[in-house]
C-alpha cells in the first residue's frame, strides 16, 4: 500500500522471488607457457573453530542487538482475522516494546498481538499507547521474561550524512534480517498515510539506503556502535513487479529520529496518549514549493488562526505564507508539520513568513494538543 511520500513497510505476506539465479559457475584457464606437469593445486586450511568478530564490525553489532529485536504479529478482531507482520525492539526491562503505530493499528481494537524473539519464544502483548501522527506505538509483554536487554538509544541530532547504518527487521516476514547502508540524507520531510483514509503521519526523517522492505517497520536503525538512531517506518518504492502485492526497496528508506521517538514513547508509557506541539493555525496541505500558507478559512467554517492561539499571539494571519521554521526552510504544509513535531509544547521558535509580498519574522511559543483527532 502506497503512502503519500512513502510506502509503509509492514509485511502482509511472506514472498520469496528467485530473482534470476544465473550465470553458472565461472571457469578460468590460461596458457602458462611451460611444458612441465607441475601441479597447480593449492591446499586450503580449515577455518578456526571459534572465529571471533572484532568489536565494531557489523557482525559484532548485529550479534549484540539481535536478541533485543522482536517480530510482531498483529491480527484484527474481525471475522477475517486480518493483520500483518512488523518489527519492534525492547525499550526497557519492564517489557515495553517500541514499534510503529501502523504495525499494530489493525489489532488495537479487539485484536491480538504476539511478539516473537529470535530464540523462538513468543509472548502475548497489549497496546500501551499509540500516536498515529508520529507513527509510534508502545506495547507491553503481558508476561515479560526476566533479563530483557533494552537496546541503547543514540542521539539522532548528532547523526551525519554518510554515517554507517544497520537495519534489523522482518522484511516480507523473514525475521532477524540484518541489512547495512549509510545515512543518505537528514531532515527529510515525509508524509505517509495508511491508504485507508486515516490521518497522515509526519516525520522529519533520517533517510538511509540500507535495504528496508515491508516488514521492517518498527525495527531499529542502528549506528555503527549499535545504538538506536531511528525507527524504520517507510520506504519510497516503484510499483511492484512479478505479480507481488507489495513493492520492495529501491534504497530510499525513512526512519523516525530516535530523539523524537523517545519523547513520544515516554509520554505513551506515562499517560497512554500522545501530546503534539501546535501553532494554532490551519495550513494548506496540498500546495508545495512556496511555503506553507495559512488557509483563508478553516474546515467547517472555523477560523484558520485560533483566537488567542500561538500563531495569533505571534501576529500571524490567514493568507500568510510560512517559509521558515527555526533554521529549516519550509516548502509545504507537510514539511511545516514535520518540523513542528520535532519540538515540544512550550518551545519558542522563530518563524519567517511572507505577507503581501514582504518578508517578516515572528516568534511562536508552541501550544499543545493531547491525543489523535
302 carries an active-site annotation: no
C-alpha cell at 184: 543518505
Q: Is 366 exposed, middle or buried (0-12, 13-18, 19+ CB in 10 A)?
A: buried
343 carries an active-site annotation: no
Scanning the chain, the segments in alpha helix (DSSP H) are: 58-65, 101-104, 258-271, 310-313, 333-340
Q: Residues 106, 156, 175, 217: which is the catalytic one?
A: 217
Whether the Cβ atoms of residue 276 and residue 338 lie closer than 8 Å to each other:
no
DSSP string, 294-322: BPSS-GGG--SB-TTSHHHHTT--TT-EE
Q: Residues 135, 209, 223, 320: which is the catalytic one?
A: 135
d(CA 103, CA 201): 13
Q: Residues 102, 194, 237, 306: which is the catalytic one?
A: 102
DSSP string, 187-212: EEEEEE--SSS---EEEEEEEE-S--
Q: Would you put residue 36 in left (φ > 0), alpha (ψ -120 to 50) or beta? A: beta
d(CA 201, CA 193): 6
Exposure on the CB side of residue 223, measured as CA atoms within 13 A? 20
Helix (H, G, I), strand (E, B), or coil: what is residue 173?
Answer: helix
> Which DSSP symbol is given to 373?
-
Q: Is 38 exposed, middle or buried (0-12, 13-18, 19+ CB in 10 A)?
A: exposed
96 carries an active-site annotation: no
Catalytic residues: 102, 135, 217
Amino acid at each position: 500500500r502506497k503512502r503519500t511520500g512513502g510506502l509503509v513497510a509492514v509485511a502482509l505476506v511472506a514472498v520469496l522471488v528467485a530473482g534470476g539465479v544465473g550465470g553458472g559457475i565461472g571457469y578460468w584457464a590460461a596458457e602458462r607457457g611451460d611444458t612441465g606437469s607441475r601441479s597447480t593445486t593449492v591446499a586450503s586450511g580449515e577455518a578456526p573453530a571459534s572465529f571471533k568478530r572484532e568489536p565494531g564490525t557489523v557482525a559484532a553489532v548485529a550479534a549484540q542487538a539481535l536478541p533485543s529485536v522482536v517480530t510482531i504479529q498483529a491480527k484484527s478482531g474481525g471475522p477475517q482475522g486480518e493483520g500483518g507482520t512488523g518489527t519492534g525492539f525492547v525499550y526497557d526491562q519492564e517489557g515495553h516494546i517500541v514499534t510503529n503505530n501502523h504495525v499494530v493499528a489493525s489489532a488495537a481494537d479487539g485484536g491480538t498481538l504476539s511478539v516473537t524473539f529470535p530464540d523462538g519464544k513468543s509472548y502475548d502483548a497489549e497496546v500501551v499507547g499509540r500516536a498515529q501522527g508520529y507513527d509510534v506505538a508502545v506495547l507491553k509483554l503481558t508476561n515479560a521474561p526476566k533479563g530483557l536487554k533494552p537496546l541503547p538509544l543514540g542521539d539522532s541530532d548528532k547523526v551525519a550524512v554518510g554515517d554507517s547504518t544497520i537495519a534489523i527487521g522482518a522484511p516480507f516476514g523473514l525475521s532477524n534480517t540484518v541489512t547495512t547502508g549509510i545515512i543518505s540524507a537528514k531532515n527529510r520531510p515525509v508524509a505517509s498515510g495508511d491508504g485507508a483514509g486515516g490521518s497522515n503521519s509526519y516525520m522529519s526523517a533520517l533517510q538511509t539506503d540500507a535495504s528496508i522492505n515491508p516488514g521492517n517497520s518498527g525495527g531499529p536503525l542502528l549506528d555503527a556502535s549499535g545504538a538506536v538512531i531511528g525507527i524504520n517506518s517507510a520506504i519510497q518504492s516503484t510499483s511492484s513487479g512479478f505479480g507481488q502485492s507489495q513493492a520492495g526497496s529501491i534504497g530510499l528508506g525513512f526512519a523516525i529520529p530516535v530523539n523524537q521517538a523517545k519523547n513520544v514513547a515516554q509520554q505513551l508509557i506515562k499517560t497512554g496518549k500522545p501530546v503534539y506541539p501546535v501553532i494554532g493555525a490551519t495550513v494548506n496541505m496540498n500546495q508545495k514549493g512556496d511555503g506553507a500558507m495559512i488557509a483563508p478559512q478553516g474546515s467547517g467554517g472555523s477560523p484558520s488562526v485560533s483566537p488567542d492561539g500561538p500563531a495569533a499571539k505571534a501576529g500571524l494571519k490567514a493568507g500568510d505564507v510560512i517559509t521558515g521554521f527555526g533554521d529549516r526552510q519550509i516548502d509545504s504544509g507537510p514539511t511545516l508539520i514535520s518540523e513542528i513535531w520535532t519540538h515540544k509544547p512550550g518551545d519558542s521558535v522563530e518563524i519567517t513568513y511572507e505577507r503581501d509580498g514582504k518578508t517578516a519574522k515572528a516568534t511562536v511559543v508552541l501550544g499543545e494538543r493531547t491525543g489523535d483527532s
